[in-house]
Amino acid sequence: MKKADRVAFIIQKLEELYPVTPIPLDHNDEYTLLVSVLLSAQCTDKRVNEITPFLFAKANNPYDMVKLTIDEIREIIKPCGLSPFKSKAIHQLSEIIIEKHQGNVPQTFEELEALPGVGHKTASVVMSQAFGVAAFPVDTHIHRLAERWKLSSGKNVDQTEKDLKRLIPKDLWNKAHLQIIFYGREFCPARGHHVENCIICKTIHSKELQ
């Protein structure tokens, strides 16, 4: 199967399986999404969604967040892991959003990535899911599947992002990145992956399995 055919098949199958792509992290606005995405680093979305109601009950905007101490934030988010780093980043980025952005989450990649604890992937998620800007955030699921599906060399997430952006139409980026995450969790996990139960891998690697 040629690469163009693989891409077309993958897009078609993902659309069949996941015509609707709800955002996995519970949030109410751009700020709570930003904090939730930051918390999701090396933590499951499920765990983040269990913790954020307690955090956002105390502070769901930057003005209330800076009233909490870093230790108070850390105590709440401790189950998400990396709490010393994340609590400090949440407090500092809240200060910057107030001081430099009038309390609003910035709407450019450059300004987002300048915030403490916000890397390119986090910025891409916020730009995509909060502001509707075409982006292709690459997490571990997408990085793994892009290599399995022979869409990228898998050398690093930056290369994977470039490869997927080149292969998948721009108007599909925001939806496709969520569809791939959903598919990876349901059918194509890192461990215990059974090709016969994974329609995309089974189709793509059909000749190798014969």
Q: Would you call 139 a catalytic residue per the annotation?
A: yes
Q: Would you call 121 a catalytic residue per the annotation?
A: yes
The residue written with tokens 């403490």 in the block is 116
What one-character DSSP code corresponds to residue 153? Answer: -
Q: Spell out the SS3 assignment of 37-72.
A: HHHCCCCCHHHHHHHHHHHHHHCCCHHHHCCCCHHH
Q: Which of 152, 135, 168, 158 is nearest to 10 (CA)?
A: 168
Which of the residues 13, 45, 139, 162 is marked catalytic?
139
CA distance 119 to 131: 17
Instruction: List the catalytic residues.
Output: 121, 139
